Structure 1
Amino acid sequence: MEPRTDGAECGVQVFCRIRPLNKTEEKNADRFLPKFPSEDSISLGGKVFVFDKVFKPNTTQEQVYKGAAYHIVQDVLSGYNGTVFAYGQTSSGKTHTMEGVIGDGNLSGIIPRIVADIFNHIYNMDENLQFHIKVSYYEIYNEKIRDLLDPEKVNLSIHEDKNRVPYVKGATERFVGGPDEVLQAIEDGKSNRMVAVTNMNEHSSRSHSVFLITVKQEHQTTKKQLTGKLYLVDLAGSEKVSKTGAQGAVLEEAKNINKSLTALGIVISALAEGTKSHVPYRDSKLTRILQESLGGNSRTTVIICASPSHFNEAETKSTLLFGQRAKTIKNVVQINEELTAEEWKRRYEKEKEKVTRLSALLQAAALELSRWRVGESVSEMEWVNLSETAQMAVSEVSGGSTPLMERSIAPAPPMLTSTTGPITDEEKKKYEEERVKLYQQLDEKDDEIQKVSQELEKLRQQVLLQEEALGTMRENEELIREENNRFQKEAEDKQQEGKEMMTALEEIAVNLDVRQAECEKLKRELEVVQEDNQSLEDRMNQATSLLNAHLDECGPKIRHFKEGIYNVIREFNIADISTQNDQLPDHDLLNHVRIGVSKLFSEYSAAKETSTAAEHDAEAKLAADVARVESGQDAGRMKQLLVKDQAAKEIKPLTDRVNMELTTLKNLKKEFMRVLITRCQANQDIEGEDSLSGPAQKQRIQFLENNLDKLTKVHKQLVRDNADLRVELPKMEARLRGREDRIKMLETALRDSKQRSQAERKKYQQEVERIKEAVRQRNMRRMNAPQIVKPIRPGQVYTSPSAGMSQGANNGSNA
């Protein structure tokens, strides 16, 4: 691609946009400083700044686009280069101006609108034109170029093509066929762009973003090709750390942003002065990329964005001064045209014809000179008119139809050579060659730095992947260790539980032997108690017989005593009768009665004492026998309680049954004691024959027999429980063996789990290596594979999801 030499000088267009006061500034009651004397001027602090146009705070996005960037579309489609970039402090509205809200017809910025207009213009152009459109999107972050369409590409280098035009080497070029694909590329890039939160902006751009649209068109009939490049640049804002509160990484970003913006300001100042022979484009990657846009082959539009608040007065004034300097820059724009072979041939023939004509004129002039030298007179009509020839050559050179390469086809030697100049052509050529070599060396060093940076980044990525894999493996190892510890603990618990069960079973076996011995002992004691009960019954029968005999003996005495009493009563009755007959009793009779009564009382007392003594003896023997029986019953009950306690520790159902039996025994004991006490009291309170009758003895004997039957039942129940324990013992042993088998199975599972985890870890590492190798192979194939272009033919209707936005932009352009 060769630019034409018919370069036309044009100035950089500068537009100023003042945003409204934001919520924070309104809350702080900040003053609105700028004044607008006219549509192209702004006044701040008593000084007036004039630009191509000034957009007030109430200006819409569409008005900004129509006034500042709409004309760039036609220039790009005509083969010119174009640049639109926004400059200003942070939070001044640069990103809102350039991007806005993509997809919103009212709030979308310059980039989506210019994309829609490019395709709308293409659809209305000649049908014989074929277009190839590709886009690139990258950012300058911390003085490193990072590809936003492929985030793995970092620290890209800047090279120069054969026309010494800078370009970013290695940046992804995505071919697109419609506006929706361009907007999708923008969205993909925005998701990878660096942003941060500061005190002045919640979404502050931390890098300079460059969105490049390359439009190449070819006429299918004439094969004429034109190429236009459009740079859409969103610069990061200049920052004051005291206002933004940047710290740490954000502070380092702010330093690099201010550094690159300072380099941009120095370049613009050098271009504005026009006196410096060297412009420091290489001081920053930003200025190197914008080299063609500032003083080169590009139609450039600068939109300076500023804040109206008095809080940012110094930054706003600095921005306006920047715009004022940028407005003085002059660019030389040229059409980027690629000639066909036929066009080159035609121009070659034309140049050849011109050289032949000039050679003939030169020969005629030499012949005329030789005639003059020999003293021959040459008439004026025969003079060779070199002035007209020179004017014709100059007019052809400045006519604008010869590219730079055409002048090197047949260079004519100069008519006169000057030896008085400070620098000869050879020296200039030598210096130029040295300069080219130095630039080549710089490019080679940039390539080396780029390769080293890429290798370093790959190594860093590999280190991160390895660290991540190592962290994952450590986490897995920690999980496996925890699981292993848990399994070991469970195994130890199971082993301990097995040991406890073995100990419990041994204790149960020992307790069973002890209980068997106790049951035998209880059986023998029961037999002794039965014998004692039998002996007690025999004694009670003997006592009953003795009582009956004693009653038989006392019967006549009692009858004699009763007769004496009856006689006394009769005698008292007789005395009463005599008294009633007013006859006083005889003293001898009274004495005789007293003596008889005393005798009867003495005999009654003796008989009563004899009976009481016999009763006491019988009661003492009965109490001794009852106490012996009770002591035997208490011993049996205590042993039963011991057996019950041992059984309760091992077998819960037996505990309930034993408790019920104990409760029954206690009730029986209480009942037995109550009956014994009642019987003893009844025996002590005997006052007649009826209380000493036989049914009470029979009832007591029946009660003792019932107690004996219940003790027999308890003995039988204990024997049955012993048999049940003997039956349950094999079951408990089987459960113990099952626990041991379970422990062995868990240990085996633990070993298998360890082996599986090691195998999975090895498999994971192999999979990671395989994926890395596949990614490397794919990247290598992608680098060597051809790219598929998407041709666009005007006149064909293009339908896409964003057709509504494109149609709206088209309507706006038609308006």
Structure 2
Amino acid sequence: MSTNNNVKVIARFRPDDNEDGNIVSFDGNDTCHIATKDSQSTSFTFDRVFDSASQQADVFEYCLKETVDDLLNGYNGTVFAYGQTGSGKTYTMMGDIDDVDRRGAIPRMVDQIFEQIFASSQDIEYMVKVSYMEIYMEKIRDLLHPEHDNLPIHEDKARGVFVKGLSEEYVSNAAEVHAVMRQGSLSRVVAATNMNQESSRSHSIFSIAVSQKNVASGAQKTGQLFLVDLAGSEKVGKTGASGQTLEEAKKINKSLSALGLVINSLTDGSTHIPYRDSKLTRILQESLGGNSRTSLIINCSPAAFNEAETISTLRFGVRAKSIKNRAKINAELSALELRRILKKCQVKIDGQSSYISRLEEEVAQWRKGETVPKAQWAKDKPAEASNRDSVVSLRSSRPGTPLTPSNRLSFNRRASTPIDQLLSRRSSTVLDSDMIDEYLRRENELQDVLVEKETVICEQDKLLAELQAELARRSEADSETLKLKETLERALHEKKETQVSVDVLKDEVSSLKKMTKKNPDLFGGFLDDNDNINHQGISNGTLGESAASQGVHKSLASLKETLQRLESTEVTPDSLDLLSDQIAMLLKENSLLRQDVTAVKSREEDLVRDIQTRCERIVELEINLDQIKDQHNSAKTKKMALLERNLEKLTHVQREIIEQNNALKKDVEVSKRLLSMRNERIETLEQLLADSRQSLEKETESFQLKLTTLRERMVRVKSTSNRQVRPLQLPQQVLEGDHRSRNSLSFEDELNMEVSNSKRLSTGLLDAAARIVKPLRGGEQSDSK
């Protein structure tokens, strides 16, 4: 049976730590007023409003304690914490686990759950399991096993909407739950912003599932509680987010916008609710307008600096307050209750069958043309309102007259219409159920394929990043190669210019040779030196240095001037001496010039060797580039083949895991049946033990009476034997007893043996009772304490 209830909304304001003033005022426990910048006051009314001085215990006692009661009664529950970043959501939900006063809603609810479990009846057995996950960048991540990220969302008829692959931990006390909470909190993604030094960058969902079974009646109940700490809505201008933090803020605001759209659609009466626009709304689909009792805690800031965000948060709470949920108890009826319901249905069916038979008899009389008195009409039944209306309308249309064939046909058609409608509705319901199952199955398969494709895309992105880095390295190598080519071209160009300069020098030397033919004897040695200089100039033509060619050009110009002066002077002894001195000077200059030519030649050789080395380096780089391209193509092909093989292996492993999971489910069902059979066997043995104790006590009492009677008879026999000498006649029941050594033992020994045997029998029964172990049930731990 489901009940309609609205979402309970609680507003809580954090303490004001700014200097620009407080804009919030309170009117009672359910109304707050916001003073805006235009000197207007806006009022908001909720189920409860907590001011800045409220404590953690106040919030828990008002709304969350009732949620725990609903959970243990078999209802689903959800607690949200919504608000802007830095408004105290995580403090309200989690707080300080180790501090009694500052601990948040989740630790207090966990303690309350186990306190009520330990205080419950011993006939109820409980199973409690928890899970902890976060939605980071629209990917579901298991906080208990952080390596499990990007988990898919599935849906089926039994479990509803659930996260496939999410780990669940079975717990037996509050301390184990606190350890799980600490472990998961360490794996959450947080970052520092201008608004909050430890801002949560993801939505966290802590789930508690409680299943209970009454071993006396066999009734079972299950309840699931979602405790949600939403990430805060952010305004980039205030938080100063950039880089990765900015991308996280975009995803957070997008999911919160999807949550707002879902709430707007629920309150506006839209036919389509966009639950699938975000993974947050998809997981919490039952919490918003479904089978759950939901409480929303909106956290706000009273500072004027956050006026716009505070008003937006309060309006969000007003919209959420109008959502109606259809919560129902998740119970599996016991066999006794099912029998009771079956008995009621059978009684109802019997009454309807008798009513139908009376109606058929009455219709038969009407068809025969007989008139049925009003006092003998069949009594009205609420369950047969439609048939009753048809019969009454028929009676009122033609009272006291027989039915014609046309009226009879119309009556039969109207009588058969509800049955046909029921059959058609039942067939359409079965068809819709099959279509829904097929749709859910296909959706789950597509979700798995989508997750696999996303994983492959992530791997391809990594490979693409590696290839881009390799391409950058190749481009750098290409740029170095281009630089070397430019250097080589520059060197070749300088070599050509040097060759042109050498050709000019050759022309000038040939002209000097023609001029010196007039005085061959006087200038023989000088011409020899000039030829040497000419040969050296020719050798310099192979050099690529412009500076050396300019030096040679200057030397040849000086020689030309000297020859011109010699031609213009007359040959005298004084002039011969002067010419000898000039020749000596020219020889010295020639020797210096030879040294310069040698240096230039060595530099030319070095330059040629450098050019050859660079050419070889360029060729080597081109060869390496070709090899790297070939290796890259082969590596990419191998990588794709490896990925395909790994995908096939993963598909095979997934199938094996599914088969193992199915086998394990079957084993679990068999184990549950065996456990129930063992419990029934234990109860039977306990009952047999109690019956055996009662029968043993009765036999012991009767044996004691017989023993007392026999002893009295023995005393009387002894006293009689002292007075009369005659054989002793034992009682018939003693002579017929089952004693193995009655010929060798006296009557008192036989009685003592019988007493010891009965004591051993009772002791053995008590030892057997002490070895039976009872299962742990509700209330046992509290008794031990």
Distance 1:202 1:50, change over 3 A: same
Hey, what's the Cα distance between the residues in 2 that align with 1:415 and 1:204? 67
Distance 1:188 1:414, change over 3 A: farther
Hey, what's the Cα distance between the residues in 2 that align with 1:47 and 1:415? 62
- The secondary structure found in structure 2 opposite 1:48 is strand
Task: Tell me if 1:128 matches 2:123.
Answer: yes
Task: Tell me if 1:304 matches 2:298.
Answer: yes
Within 5 A, what are the aligned runs for 1:16-27?
16-22=11-17, 25=18
**Alignment check: 8 A CA contact 1:154 1:454 kept:** no
Task: Tell me if 1:447 matches 2:431.
Answer: no
Distance 1:348 1:799, change over 3 A: closer
User: Which residue number corresponds to residue 180 of structure 2?
Assistant: 185
- The secondary structure found in structure 2 opposite 1:256 is helix
Q: Deviations over 1:117-159 (max 9, x none)?
A: 1111111111111110000111111111111111122122222
Equivalent AA in structure 2 for residue 795 of structure 1: G
Hey, what's the Cα distance between the residues in 1 that align with 2:178 and 2:107? 7
User: Which residue number corresponds to residue 340 of structure 1?
Assistant: 334
**Alignment check: 8 A CA contact 1:178 1:798 kept:** no
Within 5 A, what are the aligned runs for 1:91-110?
91-110=86-105
Distance 1:393 1:107, change over 3 A: farther
Q: Deviations over 1:307-328 (max 9, x none)?
A: 1111111111010001011111
User: Which residue number corresponds to residue 278 of structure 1?
Assistant: 272
Distance 1:344 1:797, change over 3 A: closer
Match of 2:376 among 367, 374, 382: 382
User: Which residue number corresponds to residue 72 of structure 2?
Assistant: 77
Hey, what's the Cα distance between the residues in 2 that align with 1:151 and 1:164? 24
User: Which residue number corresponds to residue 781 of structure 2?
Assistant: 797
Within 5 A, what are the aligned runs for 1:652-691?
none
Equivalent AA in structure 1 for residue 34 of structure 2: L
Task: Tell me if 1:66 matches 2:61.
Answer: yes
Aligned length: 464
- Aligned-residue RMSD, C-alpha: 3.9
**Alignment check: 8 A CA contact 1:207 1:235 kept:** yes
Deviation at 1:362, TM superposition (A): 1.9
Distance 1:414 1:119, change over 3 A: farther
Distance 1:436 1:414, change over 3 A: farther
Hey, what's the Cα distance between the residues in 2 that align with 1:259 and 1:432? 34
- The secondary structure found in structure 2 opposite 1:156 is coil
Hey, what's the Cα distance between the residues in 2 that align with 1:87 and 1:109? 15
Q: Please, which runs of 5 or more residues in structure 2 have no aligned partner?
A: 36-40, 389-413, 467-645, 673-774
After TM superposition, the score normalised by the length of structure 2 is 0.54
After TM superposition, the score normalised by the length of structure 1 is 0.52
Within 5 A, what are the aligned runs for 1:394-405?
none
User: Which residue number corresponds to residue 224 of structure 2?
Assistant: 229
Within 5 A, what are the aligned runs for 1:510-589?
none
Distance 1:391 1:72, change over 3 A: farther
Relative CO higher for 1 or 2, CA cutoff 8 Å, sep ≥ 6? 1
User: Which residue number corresponds to residue 35 of structure 1?
Assistant: 25
Distance 1:389 1:157, change over 3 A: same
Deviation at 1:448, TM superposition (A): 2.2
**Alignment check: 8 A CA contact 1:131 1:792 kept:** no
Hey, what's the Cα distance between the residues in 2 that align with 1:393 and 1:179? 59
Q: Deviations over 1:89-138 (max 9, x none)?
A: 11110000000011111111000111111111111111111110000111
Equivalent AA in structure 2 for residue 130 of structure 1: E
Deviation at 1:80, TM superposition (A): 0.9
Deviation at 1:305, TM superposition (A): 0.3
Task: Tell me if 1:160 matches 2:155.
Answer: yes
**Alignment check: 8 A CA contact 1:227 1:336 kept:** yes
Hey, what's the Cα distance between the residues in 2 that align with 1:440 and 1:288? 17
Hey, what's the Cα distance between the residues in 1 that align with 2:228 and 2:436? 30
Percent identity, aligned pairs only, is 44
Give the greater-gyration-radius structure (CA): 1
Within 5 A, what are the aligned runs for 1:280-429?
280-390=274-384, 416-417=417-418
Distance 1:463 1:116, change over 3 A: farther
Distance 1:226 1:95, change over 3 A: same
Q: Deviations over 1:443-499 (max 9, x none)?
A: 221132234446777x699999xx9xxxxxxxxxxxxxxxxxxxxxxxxxxxxxxxx
Distance 1:163 1:383, change over 3 A: farther
Hey, what's the Cα distance between the residues in 2 that align with 1:255 and 1:320? 22
- Worse-superposed segment, 345-354 or 428-437: 428-437
Equivalent AA in structure 2 for residue 797 of structure 1: Q
Task: Tell me if 1:151 matches 2:151.
Answer: no
Q: Deviations over 1:270-325 (max 9, x none)?
A: 2222x222222121111111111111111111000011111111111010001011
User: Which residue number corresponds to residue 9 of structure 1?
Assistant: 4
Hey, what's the Cα distance between the residues in 1 that align with 2:304 and 2:783? 49
Q: Please, which runs of 5 or more residues in structure 1 have no aligned partner?
A: 1-5, 395-412, 468-768, 804-815
- The secondary structure found in structure 2 opposite 1:108 is coil
Match of 2:169 among 166, 171, 174: 174
Equivalent AA in structure 2 for residue 32 of structure 1: N
Deviation at 1:426, TM superposition (A): 6.8
- The secondary structure found in structure 2 opposite 1:229 is strand
Match of 1:259 among 242, 250, 254: 254
Hey, what's the Cα distance between the residues in 1 that align with 2:136 and 2:783? 37
User: Which residue number corresponds to residue 676 of structure 2?
Assistant: none
